[in-house]
Structure 1
């Protein structure tokens, strides 16, 4: 049983004729949960069984699953454990000031055991007789798609902290702000990065490449093709 930042296969269930069962568990920030849920809906529309895991308050704020998708997409809430100093009811980065995100992460890490219990229960159910309550949910999870913050699932190397910025810089659509040895930014370095993008000649090249990328991201037909390719990958390597 494996899990990675993007997606990793789990042991295939006995019933190969049922749809793939995908489990998703994003970091507790709406900038993560909303895209994950949108991906879950797209996969559900393609007939896959998708279990979306989050905390009760976030589940409520994300809204109800469209009835047309309810047979293929379910939401499983897991209670966030209490942590000293974390405001009551805080279940996302939108609920806490920046200096308390570390406490939210500590609470998030406390979900390791209940999430492991959920996965174990799902696998045990998949070993038994198949039910017809919902297409694919009687099947063991074939894949778990996780986010960057679950170091209790798959240790993330220290050098990956700047992964997104590094990727943007490598593609020529952004610059990475210099960090101190402890990973923090200095305001002068932030100002220098902004100057490179907004004032210097380099910024024109970055803007052109960013426009090219936005055209790709905004191409709905191409994005649907990518999703079809993703489904094919998940089915091939389950």
Structure 2
């Protein structure tokens, strides 16, 4: 699929997918549908990237860099409630000097997001899961303040050497938790004495309470 020329074309493509099953979309691109997503958690997103013409790949920039738009699939149940937290980006555990919310990678990722809900209850076979109505979102001033405050609290704890004390309970909208293919993957962090140690990589995730509010606001789901 060619890269969309502008925002309107991207939205049109996304709307064209609404109501289709993942199997129908996969067939268009001759992509094999996995029996389950236990080992392919990102498959939904990769399929949508292919169908919509995303070009960033694994680069640290929005999926549609020329439009400044990030693509996020959002698994929901039949009632429109998010089924899981949403991964945003890997959280840096070192080199944080001079980093602020304004110049952070996570803010860049969340500046403009194309959300594509997918009805994806575990009881529904992957191929039969239905794509919902997409919507474009940028944080309101109130939402951005919540995100910025969470980011600052979590980042301060990392800088102060307390990364191991951070649990999913921290943060109103954002949470920080391990992000690794397995427990052998390690990265460097610093303890409160400034000494380096090895720990699991961490990722920033949006909590389901936050994404549910986005759905309610944009799709009028109650």
TM-score by length of 2: 0.24
Which structure has greater strand proportion?
2
TM-score by length of 1: 0.23
